[in-house]
Structure 1
């Protein structure tokens, strides 16, 4: 039975991965280096002067700026040397291959090699990269790229600091515009508090596996494990959805493609945990194995993979960072706890199914029979 379940799960997983790679490859090209958390808060203030159809916001925990232009005229984003860098309008998104910003902004670290033909003084060489009216890009003016914090942060790391007010220039039909925003340092939380809470929680959930599997309390424990695993899987899926919404997903289609492209493993393990939890609630055969396997995957791919938020003040979701940490904690607690409880129940079931050791065969001495020495027996036979 267990072998059949594993085979079916493997086939489903292989099919899902194949479909993901086939359908979601374009979406994976955006936000590939989105941070799991940061201590620098990037906020967009205003676009001056305001223009109808033009909106700008920070996405991916501030790692990128997103500009949408639904107006009739294209908007140009100006690069670091005053050259045209991006153009967004009714005919799509274009990037200037002569602008050094085109290459520097491809990664969050800004470490892409600039080709020799990239010259900000050269005429723009526009290349169409997308057919939408929205573009997202890393902008070094809105980021802190140094490996060490600013001097004021090093002097007082437990206080919030304004790092800089930043400006990104735009141009519409020769008219200059500006995106104005702020970059702040926000003190990170104490990660030990969250790790201690997660550890105590998973120990409490894992203790459910100590109840005898064949008893009434053991059956109830399996149902409780199933319910907790459903809740943990839902928390993992919710966090994945929050990451894609923060990355700029707009609409169900974009959200689905973003999930399949950037959050496929947390999504699959979250859904798998929900399915395994429902399987345990129904008390199906091999439920203990399903609970342990789903719990391990959930804890690893949706819990540990997002645990950076325990030590970062800005989480890559739309909600307050405390909610993000609670979701990750719930995922870790239910995942690792279900793994421990399922493993304990499997071990107890294996011991119960093991045949009892037969008692040793009784010896002649146990029955009071004395075996004479062979020499004495021969001597007795020779006597008259």
Structure 2
């Protein structure tokens, strides 16, 4: 393998190493959804206990600000979570809810020792008095659409039982099917990305121009990915791919621009790596375009436009970079295209 081939292999290996550690931090992180769950009531009222739903319908969050301990009961009535007045949050490792809540649809088997009747085995999971968890009582538990229902309908209403001090408290949660989002942001984003892709491909651009386009797309995708990551609590396990993919793309494109001492086909290969990361990121987030709710604090029309725009631009960059790899291979490269 020649020197350019070795550089290309090294760049690809580096991307795989980075992404090898970029698997989701939790078994089932919050993702786009068509259902919105809300807390309807807390009966009797429990001052100092704040509840909210995170990610449309993905996670229920409790924040204890009062001076009474709170227990969240699992599906068998067993102690599942315990919130203490000093901010400590503990999880019962023997609660079936702990295992079942690792998957949105509860598709896991209970290991030995996990039993609702077993004495609690507490383990600290937070120290801020705030914690979010999957709770199957708060969302639709089927990948198929609710039968006999349509967008706008309430699809479930259920109770999550708490024990506040020595009182039993019922938290009523309802979930509603949200209508599909407008396609306008995705179309606008796609047109912007297409314009950039066509501009890169209609004639052979200089390497620096193509790398600059990849860098710009990577920076925008990275910003949106970090925004989405910071929009949800860390314990919900937002996918590291939200920011790791565009981060690799930014490094690869930036390296192609900065490392002018490398052979032109190697620099073009780095741009191709950046393009693959952009397309991969857009595919990873494609449900954000079609689902009604997305777990991010970013404006949803902007988020959808960026996902489509970056994906389309990434395809254009990949085509342009491939042409440059071919055109600048030793013995073929016009000097003007290596800039």
TM-score (norm 2): 0.77
Show structure 2 runs of 5+ residues with no match: 335-339
Q: Displacement, 1:142?
A: 0.7
| Higher-Rg member (1/2) | 1
Point out the structure with the larger helix share. Answer: 1
Matched residues, number = 325
| Equivalent residue for 1:353, pick from 317, 322, 332 | 332
Show structure 1 runs of 5+ residues with no match: 213-217, 356-384
What is the 5 A alignment of 1:133-152? 133-152=129-148
Whole-angstrom CA distance in 1 between matches of 2:298 and 2:192: 25
Matched, 1:335 2:314: yes
Relative to structure 1, the CA distance from residue 278 to residue 45 in structure 2 (aligned partners, 3 Å threshold; closer, same or farther) is: farther
| Equivalent residue for 1:243, pick from 228, 238, 241 | 228
Matched, 1:321 2:300: yes
SS of match in other structure, 1:107 = coil
Whole-angstrom CA distance in 2 between matches of 1:85 and 1:353: 67
What is the 5 A alignment of 1:181-192? 181-189=173-181
Cα deviation, 1:254-305, whole Å, max 9, x if unaligned, reads: 89xx67xx31x443331232234445556935343222221012212x1111
Tell me if structure 1 keeps the 8 A contact 2:211–2:254. yes
SS of match in other structure, 2:268 = helix
Q: Displacement, 1:96?
A: 3.9
Q: Displacement, 1:110?
A: 1.4
User: What is the match of residue 100 of structure 2?
Assistant: 104
Task: State the superposition RMSD in angstroms.
Answer: 3.8
Q: Displacement, 1:350?
A: 4.5
Matched, 1:161 2:153: yes
User: What is the match of residue 323 of structure 2?
Assistant: 344
Cα deviation, 1:206-253, whole Å, max 9, x if unaligned, reads: 5424424xxxxx34xx4543333223212322332233234313xxxx
Matched, 1:230 2:206: no
What is the 5 A alignment of 1:1-384? 2-3=4-5, 5-6=7-8, 9=11, 12-13=14-15, 16=18, 20=21, 28=25, 30=26, 32-44=27-39, 47=42, 49-52=45-48, 54-89=49-84, 90=86, 92-96=88-92, 99-114=95-110, 120=116, 122=117, 124-132=119-127, 133-153=129-149, 157=150, 159-189=151-181, 194=186, 198=190, 201-202=193-194, 204-212=196-204, 218-219=205-206, 222-249=207-234, 262-263=239-240, 265-279=241-255, 284=260, 286=264, 287-300=267-280, 302-350=281-329, 353=332
Q: Displacement, 1:46?
A: 5.8
Cα deviation, 1:54-76, whole Å, max 9, x if unaligned, reads: 33322244212122335444210
Whole-angstrom CA distance in 2 between matches of 1:131 and 1:204: 46
Relative to structure 1, the CA distance from residue 309 to residue 266 in structure 2 (aligned partners, 3 Å threshold; closer, same or farther) is: closer
Q: Displacement, 1:338?
A: 0.8
Whole-angstrom CA distance in 1 between matches of 2:181 and 2:330: 45
Tell me if structure 2 keeps the 8 A contact 1:92–1:128. no
Whole-angstrom CA distance in 2 between matches of 1:51 and 1:124: 29
Tell me if structure 2 keeps the 8 A contact 1:37–1:312. yes
Whole-angstrom CA distance in 2 between matches of 1:115 and 1:275: 42
User: What is the match of residue 337 of structure 2?
Assistant: none
Give the number of the structure with larger relative contact order, counting CA–CA contacts within 8 Å between residues 6 or more apart. Answer: 2
Relative to structure 1, the CA distance from residue 346 to residue 143 in structure 2 (aligned partners, 3 Å threshold; closer, same or farther) is: same
